[in-house]
Homo-oligomer: A and B are copies of this chain.
């Protein structure tokens, strides 16, 4: 954690002196809320109101400026209109304020003028060493100290629960939604930060500032975009090191949602799949149900209890239909379920506890007895074959919490080293939920959020710091130098054709079949035969016109397959030239590339690009049209190790055809994984914006690169790492 982050931690969430700048007088005004909420929730720090046009506001002395406040100010919340923000920031700078939060909109989300305004704000804050939150921020809240410095009306609540989860949200209104919905589940939050436009700070930097706060056990993120993936990754790594789970809900899974993210906070939004892969890579638990956002952390905090246990769930229930519903939802999410292991089955039999058949352990009404339920739970959590035990409780959760949840709580308390336990009361059962939570047992209010969270909890970790994870290979310096030189020969923004891009891939270690390059237009059949013979290329061959203007050659009739003779080759070249002259008359033709026809068991396409939000990513999909029609593509932040590339291939359904499907021959997926890992190394060359090999031919023994395409980034560097 950086010294700067550390220095701002206290003034951000635990200031002693706060300035509220631009508070209007009169009840019900938005700008008056932070003052009223701080008072209502017992903030013990000093609050100064700044309003140059009044002597008193809301019954308090109003100061003409921040500079005029007689003591040093830790945190100022600027509640003034857009046009007054810069002057107010100047005032804060002059007063030596540490953290400034800005409410106003009209910045990066508001056209060129707004962007310029925002840039000036950031420059000023940076120069002064000020941490800036917003603009467009609904404020910062510390439930523990009563620093409820927000304009969000939800904090009018009298029941601000204590909690140990910090909320970082791009949306200011959502912090109110989370507060309200968490409260009804008896889940409180320690802090809320409304990040707004993230002009200077972002979820990553604010997260880093708070990550070692001892009042915080975990983080809850409501994300509309990703502005600084490097800072985000550092925050995620720090949280993981400290054993603090981070759970995220990402807005913009649909195109419409992405468009709204844009209009909403001025963020560019990229492909949802890239963001998802980035979050998984950094061990962030992405949930798809809103409730899981605050319900998941309690279970994820139990991860150490899972340790060497199998990644499986056992569902124990007193209520068949409800338990079956949970099993169904878990299975749909790919969770492996076990019934009773042999030891436990023997125990249940000896003790006459019913357990049904199959994968749901249904103790039926016998579970309404404390002793029976406690014995069953104790047996299951001390059985080494148990991963996570989930107890689905029936109506007794509603009317007999003592009967329904007491045996769970006692069994867990008496077996500290045992398997983790989660509970799902089928009915609405606030009293049982509260008892469970007080005992540190994660409980869920809905079957969907329970299933979402349990799936995340049991998922294998795939990030960089797990046991057995191979670091991506380091490129040999001479290889790197050679590739850098090849790239340097082209101007920025250039699209490199198969020959030029091919040189770079060959340099990386991804060779193509032998090829003959024919620039001369006049070659006849005999000449062509001689040239091929000299190069050791035998018929049948494939011929392609090479042009920087035709990245998708097939669509222009610029590829001919399976040419058997020199005569046919001569004809094919002439025909292709005719096609292109008609379909793309301005395309520059550099020559003809002739290669032996090679055949394989299947095709793949491998791509690399710099995502606007999360940076370099590598993708691999089934070849042909399947990747596109079925979106059958795996994606990861680049670079990846061969091991990770192999996991990617496992995710691509279409590669079933290369895994011995219905007796077909098996393709060399290990070679394909090595190729994917090599392509992912392009991440090291910031000039490369995008690259693709389409297709890669997968053979029984090895893979063959049949094409190559690379696009360099624009000069403005927008696409650089």
Answer yes or no: A514 CB below 8 A from chain B CBs.
no
List the 7 shortest-distance A-B pairs measured between CB atoms, nearest first: A171-B321, A257-B328, A180-B427, A254-B331, A256-B331, A153-B395, A173-B319
Tell me which of B337, B629, B662 contacts A654 (CB under 8 A): B629
Against B, the Cβ 8 Å flags (1 = close, 0 = not) of A245-281 are 0000001111111011101100000000000000000
Q: Mark A324-348, 1 if CB is under 8 A from B, else 0.
A: 1101111110000100000000000
Of the A-B pairs whose beta carbons lie under 8 Å apart in the complex, a sample of 24, sorted by A's number, is A152-B395, A153-B396, A154-B398, A156-B398, A171-B320, A174-B325, A176-B427, A177-B395, A180-B398, A224-B321, A224-B324, A251-B324, A256-B327, A260-B324, A263-B358, A290-B325, A290-B447, A555-B662, A555-B663, A625-B661, A629-B653, A629-B661, A630-B630, A630-B654
Chain A residues touching B, range:
35 or more
**Which residues of chain A have a CB within 8 Å of any CB of chain B?**
30, 152-154, 156-157, 169-174, 176-177, 179-181, 183-184, 222, 224, 251-257, 259-261, 263-264, 289-291, 319-325, 327-332, 337, 356-360, 365, 394-396, 398-399, 426-429, 446-448, 555, 625-626, 629-630, 632, 653-654, 656-657, 661-663
Q: How far is the CA of A205 from the CA of B86 in the complex (A)?
A: 72
CA distance A662 to B554 in the complex (A): 11
User: Which residue from B254, B290, B322, B359 sits with its C-beta under 8 Å from A448?
Assistant: B290
Most B CB contacts (10 A, CB to CB) among A256, A329, A656 go to: A256
CB closest residue in chain B, given A289: B448
Once A260-B360, A328-B260, A448-B290 are accepted as A-B contacts, the answer to whether A394 and B321 lie under 8 Å apart by CB is no
- Contact, CB under 8 Å: A153 / B394: yes
Q: How many copies does the complex hold?
A: 2
With a cutoff of 8 Å between Cβ atoms, the chain B residues found around residue A322 in the complex are: 171, 173-174, 177
- Closest chain B residue to A152 by CB distance? B395
A447 / chain B contacts, CB cutoff of 8 Å:
290
Task: Return chain B residues, CB-CB under 8 Å to A260.
Answer: 323-324, 327-328, 358-360
B448 touching A256, Cβ below 8 Å: no
The CA of A172 and the CA of B320, in the complex, are separated in Å by: 9
Say whether, besides A321-B224, A360-B260, A629-B653, A395 and B173 are in contact (CB < 8 Å): yes
A629 touches which of B252, B337, B395, B656 (Cβ 8 Å): B656
Given contacts A180-B427, A290-B447, A358-B259, contact A170 B254 (CB under 8 A): no
Contact of A429 among B170, B180, B290, B429 (CB under 8 A): B180
- Residues of B contacting A154 with CB < 8 Å? 395, 398-399, 427
On whether the beta carbons of A331 and B257 are closer than 8 Å, the reply is yes
Smallest beta-carbon distance A315→chain B, Å: 10
For the complex formed, measure the closest distance between the CB of A253 and the CB atoms of chain B, giving whole angstroms: 6
Among candidates B173, B252, B256, residue contacting A337 with C-beta atoms closer than 8 Å: B256
